[in-house]
Structures are given as C-alpha cells and as structure tokens.
Structure 1
Amino acid sequence: MIKILHTGDVHLDSPFSGMSAEAAAARRRELRETFSDMMAYARSASVDLVLIAGDLLDRRFATGETVQLIKDELSALDCPVVISPGNHDPADGKGIWNSTFPGNVHIFTEETLSRISIDTLGVDVYGYAFTSGELTSSPVAGEFAHDKSKINILLCHADMTSPVSVAAPLSKAQIESFGADYTALGHIHNGEAYSGIAGDCVYAYCGCPEGRDFGECGVKGAIICEINGGVGERRVTLSRKPFCRKRYEDITVPVDGAVSMAEVCRAAKDACMLMDERTILRITFTGTVDPELVIESGTVEAAIPTVPSVTVRDRTSPSLSFSVDDPTVRGEFCRLLAPLLGSADPAERETAVTALRMGLSSLSGNDLS
C-alpha cells in the first residue's frame, strides 16, 4: 500500500484585497500555517508521496518568507514531492520554480506530458506544467500510461467543467483513455462534484485547503489517497481530511413577519448554533417584515458572540398590507412608494425601501439625525 497526500490550490500570498491590511495579513499568515499543518501531517502520518496539483502560490512571485517556508517544509519531509504548476503559478522560468528546491522535490516544467518515476515506491507520476496563465489544449489527449506493472498517477491542474476552457480542458473520456490508477486534479476549489471514476481510474479534485472568500464555503482540506493491490487489482481509497484554520459560511435566514430586532437576532442565533470563532460568516435576511424594522448589523453581530467575523445583508421587504385602507399621510406615503418597491431595478428597489423606512420612522416621531 502507498499513502498519498494530495493537495493544491493553496494560493499562498493571496492579497485578500477586500479586507483591511491587518486582516489580510492575518489571513495570509493562516494560509501559510495551513500549508505547514498539511506538511506536518505528512510527516506524522507516514505519507509516502505528496502531490501538489498546481496553484501553490497565488502568483508566480512570492515573498521571501513564503518561498523559504515552502522549501523548509518540503525538505523536512521523508517522502518525495511532485508538483504540477498551475495557471496562477506557471513555470515560466521567472518565478519560484526557477529556484533550487530540495532533492526530494520533483517539478514538472513543460506543457507537454512527461513522467517522473519513483522507483522506491514503484510509482510513475505523469504530469505537465502551465508555462503561462493559459493552456487551451489538454496535454493528456492521446497519451497513456506506459508501464502497467507500476502504480500510475496522473497529476495535473486542469478544468473538467468546460471543453473550451483556457485552463487545460480535460474530459472524463481522456482520463479513462490515459489509464492511470489515480488522477490527482487541481483548479476547481469546490471540486467534490467533479470527482468520480472513469473506467478503472479514480479521479478527484483536492479542492482548496483554506477558503478565501464566500465562493469557497465550508470545511476545506486535502485528500488522503491509499492505493492497494497488484496489477489488475488496484484499489484506490480516498478520504478528505480537514486542514483549514477558518471556514467561510454563507447562510440565508428567513424572518417573515418580524417586527423587532429581538426576533431577527433570535433567528440569527438559532441558525448559527454550530458556528464558532473559526467561522467567517455572511448572513442574509429575507422575508416580509414590519415596514419600520431596520436590521442593524451591529445588533446582529452582538447577538452571535461566538462568531467574531459577521457580514450582514438585509434582503427583506417591507409589508405594505396595512397601507391599503390607511387614509392617513402614512398610508398615502406607502402607496406612493409602492411602484418603486416593486421595481425590477434592484438599486431603485433598495433606495425605495430605505426611503420608506426612514419616512415611516420620521412620521413616528423618531429623530433621524
């Protein structure tokens, strides 16, 4: 049996441009810590082979601290490492892959498919590198594993979602035709839906080990792959191991009929019972609520003290049922705004909702200054 740690899409030195400078620096530090955690696991769990399926870096140049961290962590491993550079960190002869790496590290540097033989394991790893930000054809097309007496692994940064992708389009048929025992993929950060079996080959996207925004929600980690059996009897077993320091969660909480912030906060607390300090949360409130109810972000954040990072979005609509027969200024004000509240233009609709709530609050005698 051989045991493999399959990772990729770490995107070290990501800018986290939507955050403050301090928060962005903290997230970059956490990315480095997550990478170190994976390598520590590889050492402690007696992993035989580490595969990095591209985009270890967010761009081809990295800080000196990050480059040194990568080399230190990889050199500390007692096993070989094979890297297939991706579209974010291409092997273009100018970046990190042009420097000297520890002897146990093997890096693909050409766009054409090549083979790295690891004789101590009886393994052949096939792969290629992006040499720029785009690769419009599949280096796997028409190729096949040569030595069936060995465990054959295909390692690549590739896109199975589109045949016209500029990120090395790859089809299930090409995976099957190639004939590897395991195809270790990178590029799709939420890759579980694109993992499966093609002929006799198990293929999987490792996904990112640490989410970086609300498009990468949930617990993230790496794949642990175990390959057993001899020729014609290979058994590939995969499991996903969490490694993330933080996890993004994007939830929608309906608050239909709410008339107070107490009700809104209660609904938020109920929805977040299982979340903790490792969660970066975006919570969107929906439903028809009292027209004077203004959802206050700070109040919601205070109601969920176990989650330190909360972004609140108000997508509720004000109820106008009372205004139909209301003969007062209040009713007339609501009726005048009603067409704008139903506008197809989201910006116009949002402005109308704000105007309605401010107007009703003012009519109720509240100070808006």
Structure 2
Amino acid sequence: MFRRRFFFMPNIIHAADFHIGAKFDFLPPDRAAEAVSLQLSALQSFVTYAGASAADAVLIAGDLFDTPDVRPQISSAVFALLAKCPCPVFLSPGNHDYYHAGSPYATQPLPQNLHVFTGRTLEPVALNDGKTVIWGAAFQDNKAVISLEAPLDPSKCNICLMHGELGGTGGYNSISESAVIGSRFDYIALGHNHRFSGVFRIGQTALSCPGCFSATASDETGVKGYLTGRIEKGDVSLTLRPSGALEFATVSLPMTGLQSDAMLAEALLPLLPQPPARICCIVHLTGTRMYEPNLTALSRSLRHSFFHAQVIDESSAMQDLYRYQKDDGLRGTVTRDFLSRMEKCSQDEKSCAKLTLALEYALAALDGRELD
C-alpha cells in the first residue's frame, strides 16, 4: 500500500521571439506582407491552443515585436488576439521590443489578461493557484543586465521569465551558470536565441529557450515552435509544439551526373521539405554540371508550391568531355571508347549520364586532378 499524493501542476506555455512586424526585406514586397499576415495567423492558432489545452499561464520571453516602435496597426492586432487568450499572459520585453516611453506597451491600451513586466529588476506576480509565482523584468534598451537575485518563497513554485542568453557575451542579458545555481528558481523561461535549446538543468533549476516562434532569416532553418507542458517544484515536463509560422529550409543538390532539366527535377523532388505552403526554400546547386539548367523555369516552378523559393547555382561547368577525341594517346583512346558506348545506348538517358560521368572521372584520373 502507498498513499497517493495529489498536487496541482500548472499547465504552462512558454514562447519567445515572435518578431511580429519584421520587414522580411529579402522577400518580394507582396510576399513580405503575406509573411506578416502568416505571423498573425500563427499567433491566433497559438491563442486557440492555449484555450484548448486549458493553460494556466502563457509566458512570452521577449521580442513579441520586431522593433520597439512597431506600427500601431500591428500592435493593435496583436493585443486584440492576446485578449482572446482565456488565461493570463506574462511578457518580459526583450532587446527588439524593449520597454520605453514610446513603446506600444506604454502607449496603447493593454488587454486585461496581459501583464507586461516593465522594471529592470525581477518583480513577482502570483498565479491564482496560490502556489506559483511568475517573476519577470524588462529590457529598457537594446542591451540589458538583469540580476537573477530575488526573495523567493521556497514553498512556492518560482518561475523566472526573461529575455537573455546563457553564457553570452553580446550584452543581451548574459546569464552565468553560477547565477542560475544561486537563483534557486524552479524554472527559467528564456528568449533571445533563435534555436531551441532543449529543456535542461543547472543545479536544481530547469531552464530552456524555445527558439523563435517565427523564422525571419534564411539561416533560421527547421521547425519553429513553443514549449507546452507542466511545471512544479523538482519536475518540469515541457515539449516543443510547432507554431505553424514561417519556416526556412535549405536543400543542396549535386549536379554531377544530371544531363537534363527532367533529371534535375527527378533528383530534387524527394529532397524538398514539406508542407511547402509556409516554407521559404533555398536550393543550392553544387558539384560539376554537365549541362546548363533552366534556372528561371526551376525557380518559377518552385514558387508555385512554396511560400517563396530561391535557386542558387554554385556548380561549376564541366570541361569539354570530347577535347581528347582526336588525340593519339591514352586519353583519346578512352574518350573514343566511351563515345562508342554512348552511341549504343543513346535512347537511354540515365545510362548515357552514367557513362558521361564515368568518362569525366577517367579523364580526371589521367589528368591527375580531383573532381568536386
């Protein structure tokens, strides 16, 4: 026999780095405007999930907006969406949306369920459960140093919400491991770094950075999302949930062995990420090309499927394979032998491609050079 222990574990959603209102100036103007709309659509889905999952609190660790002076139309739309969240929303402004006199956090009416931390030092707000306290502070400029020291009640579940980087050197509220150990927080909800850090522990404190909610640059590849789960003293169980916002993906395709646009398309298709509608896909063509691909047609085709697509040709042209055809030496003999084989299978494109590639390797070996 054992006595079952009943306790309340708050259901928490931890997100960061939405960067709503980003310029997306690397996209065509119409696509840039659609990218911002996609950010708002993903935020709406985020709020809907908070209600469906019966979240007790939503934590936003900074950079909700991409700039500290975001356009009023965008901030008003964001606040209207957050107002629909059925639980309290806590926000610690970061280096992109830092709190200042002209900030939308200071100049616009905020939803009643939204608590924005505005001070330079950690301040507490208790959840209605009577057992959980959210501590937070704000960037008041694009750089900040926020201490983790706070008068915690050890009988409570203490959660710290702040924008910052563990061990960073950029001035964006760098946090040391010793400060984490000494803080005694049960969980530190971080923002700033755009890649998911995983959920890990330093001493008795669990912490995580969920990465960015919405990608805004081509090097921010992979699934973007937010953390959801339960937090209590000594037990943090959070998983990353995709946000449905804009993503970037890069694909590298070696041109070696491809002899036509049809072969290129066949080789590229299984490499393309899915689902394409909200992905900006960048295709890098590499290696040694045997023909000149129609890059305009390829880009046009990809853009019909993907949110946006770009083809970058990094391949190099193959030397004239038949330059030794009339040579009396070994190179000429090898070339003529391969040409004879190609003529016999001229109707089989793939066999010809393999023979062409084999001839290129043979000539490279005879010339004492290496292929890409």
TM-score using structure 1 length: 0.79
| Counterpart Cα distance in 2 of 1:66 and 1:73 | 11
User: Which of 216, 219, 224 is equivalent to 2:220?
Assistant: 216
Residue number in structure 2 paired with 1:313: 312
Does residue 163 of structure 2 align to residue 154 of structure 1? no
Look up the match of 1:271.
271
Cα contact 1:54–1:187 (8 A) shared by 2: yes
Q: The residue matched to 1:65 in structure 2 has which SS?
A: helix
Q: Distance between the aligned counterparts of 1:26 and 1:260, measured in 2?
A: 34
Q: Is this contact kept in 1: 2:211–2:225, CA < 8 A? A: yes
Q: 2:131 aligns with which of 114, 119, 122?
A: 122
Change (3 A) 1:200 1:319: same
CA contact (8 A) 2:215 2:245 kept: no
Structure with larger Rg: 2
**What SS does the aligned partner of 2:287 have?**
strand
Structure 2, gaps ≥5 residues long: 1-8, 328-372
Contact 1:49 1:81 in 2 (8 A): yes
Q: In the alignment, is residue 113 of structure 1 matched against residue 122 of structure 2?
A: yes
Structure 2 equivalent of residue 59 of structure 1: 67
Distance 1:20 1:319 in 2: 34
Aligned to 2:292: 293
Post-superposition offset of 1:127: 2.0
Instruction: Report matched runs for 1:59-98 at 5 Å.
Output: 59-98=67-106
Give the residue type in structure 2 aligned to 1:105. Answer: L
Identity %: 25
State the AA in 2 paired with 1:312.
Answer: V
Please list, as runs of the form range in 1=range in 2, the aligned pairs for 1:1-369 lying within 5 A after superposition.
1-99=9-107, 100-135=109-144, 137-140=145-148, 143-144=149-150, 146-160=152-166, 162=168, 164-192=169-197, 195-228=199-232, 234-272=234-272, 274-290=274-290, 292-299=291-298, 301-302=300-301, 306-307=305-306, 309-320=308-319, 322=321, 325=324
Matches of 2:229 and 2:13 in 1, distance apart? 6
The offset of 1:145, in angstroms, is 5.3
- Count residues with an aligned counterpart: 318
2:161 is paired with a residue of what secondary structure? strand
Residues in 2 aligned to 1:65 and 1:44: alpha-carbon distance in whole angstroms: 27
Q: Residues 15, 305 of structure 1: CA spacing in aligned structure 2 closer, same or farther, 3 A cutoff?
A: closer
2-side partners of 1:252 and 1:157: how far apart?
34
- Per-residue CA shift, 1:50-85, capped at 9, x if unaligned? 111000011122233322223323333332221100
Q: Partners in 2 of 1:134 and 1:248 — Cα distance?
A: 28
CA distance in 2, matches of 1:248, 1:44: 28
The code of the aligned residue for 1:213 comes to: A
User: Shift in Å at residue 120 of structure 1?
Assistant: 3.3
TM-score under structure 2 length normalisation: 0.79
Instruction: State the SS of the aligned residue for 2:175.
Output: coil
The amino acid of 2:161's aligned partner reads L
What CA distance in whole angstroms lies between the structure 1 residues aligned with 2:105 and 2:302?
48
List, as ranges, runs of 4+ consecutive aligned residues in structure 1 with deviation greater than 6 Å. none
Q: Which residue identity lines up with residue 183 of structure 1 in the other structure?
A: I
Q: CA separation in 1, counterparts of 2:244 and 2:33?
A: 16
* CA deviation after TM superposition for structure 1 residue 32, in Å: 1.2
1:227 and 1:236 in contact (8 A); partners too: yes
Q: Give the superposition deviation at 1:297.
A: 3.5
Q: Deviations over 1:129-153 (max 9, x none)?
A: 1101112x3422xx15511111110
Distance 2:26 2:94 in 1: 24
SS at match of 1:277: helix
Q: What SS does structure 2 have at the residue aligned with 1:38? A: helix
Helix, strand or coil for the counterpart of 1:192?
coil
Measure how far apart 1:245 and its partner are: 3.6
- For structure 1, the residue ranges without an aligned partner over 5 or more in a row are 329-369
The corresponding residue for 1:353 is none
